A and B are shown apart, each in its own frame.
Chain A
Amino acid sequence: MSLLETRAVAKSFGENRAVDNVDFKVNAGEVLALIGSNGAGKTTLVNLVSGLLRPDSGEILFEGREVTQQTSYERIKSGIARSFQLVNLFDQLTCGDNIALSIFSREGKTGDLAKLAHRDRAVWDEAHDVLRQFGLDSKAGIAAGTISHGERKLLDVAIAYALRPKLLFLDEPTSGVSTREKAPIMDIVSAIVRSGGITIVIIEHDMDIVFRYSERIVVMHQGSVLADGTPDEIRHNDEVTTTLIGEHASPAAAGDAGHA
């Protein structure tokens, strides 16, 4: 049984069939990359699975149970989490608060209004741990709105990670970040989430990252799944190359290039 499965899921926006009858599976423990040109339907698919949108038709199953009509709140509680392409942080709160909130929420403590938040040592210790893992420890007491863009991308992932989800969607975790900063970010991200045994789905445009960090690749094009396989299979899939060519450097060339 796969961890997540969509069956014939479809979503249209007016005339535009953003997601067109998609069967999509994610297996527990894997690192999957979801690629495709802009408008291919990747983000819409993630929005459907995470609960931001409801599909027009089809089913979504998580751990074998149907979650199609569940609210995003319920899906979070079931174990699905996501980060955002356009960074979504609590800008006026400190980085520490940003992480602590995920932990409080996870533990069902956000309803406590009679206790002081900073007295909960367990939560704060864990928050500091997470920040340390993401290299943001020095920013714990600093407002999230004032850190650098790369740090904000990391924090965005960290907030989702702190929920200790079973399935984590990372929506373009390195977009807008300078090339120099991308690999370190991805290293942190993949090391951390792998050590936590979390299943990851990454939406990415940078083919270097895709081929370096993923175990399986799903290619979407104009709302449908075009190809699904290991990086090697995808690299040598002509249909994929011709469809995506012009958007990115040829996967074969990128995959062979050496990285520092």
Chain B
Amino acid sequence: MATPTTVTTGAAPVGGHSILRMLAWIVPIAVLLVIAPWVIDPFQTLTLTYGLVAAIGALGFNLLLGYTGLLSFGHSAFFGGGAYTVAFMVKYFKIASMELFLAGSMLSSAIVSLLFGFVCVRYTRIFFGILTLALSQVLWSLAFKFFWVTGGTDGLRVPTPSLLGMAPSSDKMEFLAHNYYYYVLAIFAIAVVLMWVIVHSPFGKALQAIRDNETRAEFIGIRIRRYRLIAFIISGIFTGVAGALWAPLNGLASPDVLVWTFSGEIVFMTVLGGFRNFVGPIVGAIAFTYLKTYAVGFTVYWQLLLGVVLVALVLALPNGIMGAVEQVIAKMKRPGPSSRDGALT
């Protein structure tokens, strides 16, 4: 039943040598990320920052999809929720500290995901998907209905915040492309490590068991609903943090990040990178961010393009970019006939 590709991150290789192998490619990438602002121009750095923010959101999203088997079409509720939490904190409480913004968004995301999750995790995958879509649409329509609170279509302004107590410099671009970039990079690193530990923990294994075989998981004593709910909440918090980081970058919290099409972008970037892979969502998010930045200038029919690529991915490249990479690596390790042999019985 499983595809004959290499075993995905469900199997944690025992022993320390795998960590060394990972460091072999993590270190160069980390170095590149650290020196980026000194090497590329500010606009590029900003794009990269957007990419890292999206990656945090996608990482959270994929805890549900790749590891728990739940496809949510409503993650815009968390991303947008995080962004609007920041905007509200600015508008109504005159707060300007990024740390407080993050704390506030984590709290609001936890509450929203607890409420949404409580209803959604009782259902099988199809219902789950549509329920998340419907619930996030409710949130979006609320943002319009109560326009005097949320700024309606105009949205709410979000000025640059202070980072670790240091007020932003007057050169906004420079601040964003340097200080803010490193701040986001640090949080990105923390998010990656946290998520990595979570998915490789006994809890993470239990989630994958629920994904692979709900009945059996129940019959070895795993509480399906409870674990799904916890995964939902963690996922919501990660994506909420991403939204909070996005708001000052964008300067504005607007309904575009609450609408279902935005949820679709989160789904798309994760599938693009490969949802059966830990790194997939990160790769997909950054790739997607660059794609969008350069392609939006070309066509108004951006959604059509996304849809076509998504359909093509599902048909031809179901495991995304990282899935293709893994297959190539596997073929290189084993020269000879194609890797079909594992599929028998």
Contact with B along A89-112 (1 / 0, CB 8 A): 111111011001110111001111
Q: Report yes or no: A92 in contact with B2, Cβ–Cβ below 8 A.
A: yes
Query: How far in angstroms is the closest Cβ of chain B from A185?
Result: 15
What are 23 A-B pairs with beta-carbon distances under 8 A?
A73-B222, A90-B208, A92-B208, A92-B211, A92-B276, A93-B209, A94-B10, A94-B11, A96-B11, A97-B205, A104-B202, A104-B205, A110-B206, A112-B203, A113-B203, A115-B197, A115-B202, A116-B12, A118-B12, A118-B13, A143-B2, A145-B2, A163-B221
Q: Report yes or no: B222 in contact with A90, Cβ–Cβ below 8 A.
A: no
Binds B, one of A56-64, A76-84, A234-242: A76-84
The listed residue (B4, B8, B14) touching A118 by CB distance below 8 A is B14
Q: Report yes or no: B7 in contact with A104, Cβ–Cβ below 8 A.
A: no
Interfacial residues of chain B within 61-118, with CB under 8 A of chain A in the complex: none
The listed residue (B4, B202, B218) touching A73 by CB distance below 8 A is B218
- Residues of A near B4 (CB, < 8 A) are 146
Contact with A along B3-19 (1 / 0, CB 8 A): 01001101111110000
Interfacial residues of chain A within 130-156, with CB under 8 A of chain B in the complex: 141-149
* A253 touches B (CB below 8 Å): no
Chain B contact residue count (CB 8 A cutoff): 40
- How many angstroms between the C-alpha atoms of A50 and B217 in the bound complex? 14
* B331 touches A (CB below 8 Å): no
- Closest-by-CB residue of B relative to A150 is B345
- Residues of A near B221 (CB, < 8 A) are 73, 76-77, 105-106, 110, 163
* B204 touches A (CB below 8 Å): yes
Query: How far in angstroms is the closest Cβ of chain A from B42?
Result: 38
Contact with A along B191-214 (1 / 0, CB 8 A): 000000110111111101101110
- Residues of B near A149 (CB, < 8 A) are 345
- How many angstroms between the C-alpha atoms of A143 and B1 in the bound complex? 10
The listed residue (A72, A92, A93, A148) touching B219 by CB distance below 8 A is A72
Q: Report yes or no: A101 in contact with B205, Cβ–Cβ below 8 A.
A: yes
- How many angstroms between the C-alpha atoms of A84 and B220 in the bound complex? 12
Q: Report yes or no: B2 in contact with A110, Cβ–Cβ below 8 A.
A: no
- Closest-by-CB residue of B relative to A71 is B218
* A88 touches B (CB below 8 Å): yes
Q: Report yes or no: A114 in contact with B201, Cβ–Cβ below 8 A.
A: yes
Most chain A beta-carbon contacts within 10 A, residue among B203, B218, B220: B220
* B223 touches A (CB below 8 Å): yes
- Residues of B near A144 (CB, < 8 A) are 2
Given A52-B215, A101-B217, A110-B202, 7 further pairs, Cβ under 8 A: A94-B10, A112-B201, A113-B197, A113-B202, A114-B201, A117-B205, A141-B13
Contact with A along B322-342 (1 / 0, CB 8 A): 000000000000000000001
Q: Which 9 A-B pairs have the closest CB atoms?
A: A145-B2, A113-B203, A90-B212, A76-B221, A88-B216, A110-B206, A94-B11, A105-B221, A118-B12
Q: Report yes or no: A146 in contact with B342, Cβ–Cβ below 8 A.
A: yes
Q: Given the interface contacts A77-B221, A94-B11, A141-B11, does A148 sit within 8 Å of B200 by beta carbon?
A: no
Q: Report yes or no: B7 in contact with A102, Cβ–Cβ below 8 A.
A: no
- Closest-by-CB residue of B relative to A108 is B221
- How many angstroms between the C-alpha atoms of A102 and B216 in the bound complex? 10
- Residues of B near A72 (CB, < 8 A) are 218-219
- How many angstroms between the C-alpha atoms of A77 and B15 in the bound complex? 31
- Closest-by-CB residue of A relative to B214 is A88
Q: Given the interface contacts A97-B205, A112-B202, does A91 sit within 8 Å of B1 by beta carbon?
A: yes
- Closest-by-CB residue of B relative to A121 is B14
* A201 touches B (CB below 8 Å): no
Interfacial residues of chain B within 135-187, with CB under 8 A of chain A in the complex: none
- Closest-by-CB residue of A relative to B6 is A143
- Residues of B near A115 (CB, < 8 A) are 197, 201-202
The listed residue (A101, A112, A148) touching B220 by CB distance below 8 A is A101
- Residues of B near A211 (CB, < 8 A) are none
Query: How far in angstroms is the closest Cβ of chain A from B215?
Result: 6
- Closest-by-CB residue of A relative to B15 is A118
- Residues of B near A160 (CB, < 8 A) are 219-220
* A210 touches B (CB below 8 Å): no
- Residues of B near A76 (CB, < 8 A) are 219-221
The listed residue (B11, B200, B205, B215) touching A143 by CB distance below 8 A is B11
Query: How far in angstroms is the closest Cβ of chain B from A112?
Result: 5
- Closest-by-CB residue of B relative to A159 is B220
Query: How far in angstroms is the closest Cβ of chain A from B191?
Result: 14
